Structure 1
Amino acid sequence: MEWLWIAVATCVLVPHSVKGNDWWGEYEEGIRHYSKEALNKEFPEKTRPASFKHPVFQCPDMSPSPTVPSSVEFVKAADIKVIAALGDSLTTSIGANATTVLGIPIEFRHVSWSIGGYGSFQDVITLANIIKLFNPNLVGAAPGKTVHGMQGHISETGFNLAVTGHNTFNLPGQTRHLIDTLRGYEGLNFEEDWKLLTILMGMNDICDYCKDKALFSADNFIHYMTVSLEMLMNEVPRMIVNVAQILPMQTLREVQKPTPGCLLQRSFCSCLIEPVAGSPELRELVEVNLEFQKKLEELLHSDRFFRDNFAVVHQPFLKHADPPRLPSGKIDMTFFTHDCFHFTIKGHEELAKGLWNNMFQPEGGKMIVNSFSDPITLTCPPMDHPYIFTRPIAARSDLPPLQSDAPSKAAILLLSLLVGRLCLV
């Protein structure tokens, strides 16, 4: 088994076009000092010592509703029975707990920000572990690790069905896999159980944009996102879908160290890393990044995906997020894996807290993180509204419908008066 890990790491690291004998020499040196124990070590010192525990998180009301809610607008955290996640390597949590660069191919799904189920909240803060404080019987949290490129079993993945390297055009396939898995999962009441799904997708489209500008356009991003959300809305009852806004990616260019692992950044996201600072190519990519964000907001700030038992909610906390920095202004590298691109557990925990807080904030009043330099404070559901906010502004009763072909009462009255006056003439 030990040589399997080495082979996987080699397959991932070697094929990339990284020049220079120094890289290969250091990589071979890493293999010579490789040990299975080091590769699989939980909580490397870079993240935290194994004895570390988070303080207890307690809220005034952590109880479920008296009866299972029938409306998507009145679902409390404790009412959530099932948790799931779709996306790419940020959701598979690739390399997040790696001890060395050789651990980058490992997908540490059990510590993933949106669905990791390792231990408890005091061990790792994930959205699933927060919800488990409210409902200890939560189904679907990812219990284990997988290896990139190898088929993972549901006993390892839970309902974390994200796939490393996937683009948004792969999202409908992930969605179909999830729907079929939920339908056939023993012990899950598909019709009655409330389900919480988190989707974060689109960063790989930007990383690949310069390779095929038509395929990885903002319009295609929205098309495949729309197809996926409509599949869920049409087929899955009692579901709330968090769609997290994608990151502004330009500042990831600053995440650099003179190490072999950091050379992988160029392979993971060449369209972002390779352009020269200030170049037209980089400016175009930054504009595309902003267009992705804008079009996603436009898609979700409506009542298109809002029903009595289903809602899609745009969670914008990452919209302006800047990488965590030290007091000197330099990037805090303890938040990044050995590839200088993905997040360690520290980064995943900040994402989890940002998403949880957004879930209990109304549209128009959701927190947007400017920097991860200061840890996010986890908040409790408001006592006056202990439910996940799902109703979009467009669906509020005090506002006119987003689109309507029917004439309003005022228009009918005005038309009647005009006709009456014409009849008197």
Structure 2
Amino acid sequence: MNAERAARAALSAVAEPGDAFLNRIIDHCGAEGALESVRTGRPPDGLRLTEKESARLEHWRIRLVAAAPEQDLTVCAELGGRLICPGDPEWPTTLDDLGGERPYALWLRGPGDLRRSCLHSVAVVGSRAASPYGVRVAAEFAAELADSGWTVISGGALGIDAAAHRGSLAADGPTIAVLANGFDVPYPASNEGLFAEMARRSVLVSESPPGTHPHRLRFLVRNRVIAALSRGTVIVEAEARSGALNTASWARRLNRVLMAVPGPVASRTSVGAHRLLREEGTILVTRHEEIVEAVGRLGDDLAPAPQTPVLPRDLLDPVTRSVLEAFPARGPMGPAQLATKAGVPMSMINAKLGLLAAGGFIERAPAGWRLTSAAKGPPPQARPSSPAETTPPDT
């Protein structure tokens, strides 16, 4: 067994993920030297510690007694997993952007290549208590991103995270779950089937050995990995106090693209997303094309302009359209009046009236021609009078 790899497996079992003090020791004397320092409770030569750091080293020394890195690696292999370390071909170099808070190692389960999957990746995160609107948006965005060749990264939680993972899987796309627990511990339990499918088709990622159970701090700490692995983060829904906002702050800190989806103004699950949108640097996104434009290659991944509906009158030639627009909203008008108002010669007006009648825009009246009801459009009461009336029912 590689001693460096075994040392990092042990360190991931005794220290909380991303501890800057432990990373400083590793940088000073390597993972094997750091493990020896933990085992003896003494700092390595040339490294001076504060009182708090000495107490932390003693805490790790006590925890090391219960650590079993060889057993962890054996269980990992039996479950079809692997441990990757900095410098390995599968190690994503974007994690180095975390500096002193980078992972010591990563425990992976699933056939997906982590580094390759992260080359074109987007994090989609949000509220656990997601609304039907948020769940639908997250799943649709993830499926469309997968269809466009992008990997979707999230945290495996209930709500938006699970919807994003499922949307990507539904489109046969790669998706990565960064967990706050060991990859063999299904948390939340209701997502056990989702994790099993991801382990079969994609990849699960954890900073902790198999068998590790989650606690609140680890959910926040793992958010830095989600942000670091991806080119950008999309916040679909977030309450005023939300772990998704912590991921957003990491995305900003790491100079990743930060995006947010607007939601119903009265929804508490959109309060956090709307607050981000009021801050400089957050990009509002409503389509997956806008996400790709934000994180893709400059000039190559531009989002197409939203298509406006083509109305029948848009297909008319300019002269015929001018005759149509000369009609009053109510009542008939004779050919001579229409010709004068539209600026069309009398020799041409009858032909244009014939085209408009054939298209269903006008009809004969006792005193000339008049608009049909279809050409006038829907009655005023059928038109939405405020944005709230256009909101989908499930928002």
TM-score interval w.r.t. the shorter chain? under 0.3
Select the structure with the greater relative contact order (CA < 8 A; seq sep ≥ 6). 1
- TM-score, normalization by structure 2: 0.25
More helix by share: 2
* Larger Rg, first or second structure (1 or 2): 2
- TM-score, normalization by structure 1: 0.24
